[in-house]
């Protein structure tokens, strides 16, 4: 876990909650469960009379699980970048011509 020393209380609390949720979801195998659902969809027989029902059921479950994971475990592109100790991020350009 990231060091929370010197961070604002709100940021520190958010990181603590996020880490706890990551651990919980990892213990429950949420990501693995999502892959299991995908495998079940792949194994459905398109010739079966219940194909559309099974596909709808598993698709809905996969969608809900995916949204839940996305809500609590944001994608890397949506992660906020911060500087040292959670402060402002500072960027220094040393050679603008070749930057």
For residue 90, what pLDDT band results from cuts at 50, 70 and 90? Answer: confident
Instruction: Please report how many Cα atoms fall inside a 13 Å half-sphere around the Cα of residue 55, on the Cβ side.
Output: 10
For 42-82, the pLDDT digits (tens) are: 999 999 999 999 999 999 988 888 887 777 666 655 566 77
pLDDT of 42 reads 93
Q: Which ranges of 3-46 does DSSP label H, i.e. alpha helix?
A: 9-28, 30-43
Sign of CA dihedral 81, 83, 87, 90: negative
Instruction: Please report how many Cα atoms fall inside a 13 Å half-sphere around the Cα of residue 71, on the Cβ side.
Output: 6
pTM: 0.49
């Amino acid at each position: 876990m990231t060091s929370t020393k010197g961070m604002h209380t709100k940021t520190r609390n958010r990181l603590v909650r996020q880490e706890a949720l990551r651990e919980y979801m990892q213990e429950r195998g949420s990501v693995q469960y999502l892959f299991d659902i995908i495998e079940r969809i792949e194994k459905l027989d398109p010739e079966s009379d219940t194909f559309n029902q099974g596909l709808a059921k598993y698709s809905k479950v996969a969608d809900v699980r995916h949204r839940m994971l996305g809500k609590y475990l944001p994608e890397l592109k949506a992660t906020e970048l911060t500087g040292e100790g959670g402060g402002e991020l500072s960027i220094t350009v040393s050679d603008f011509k070749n930057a």
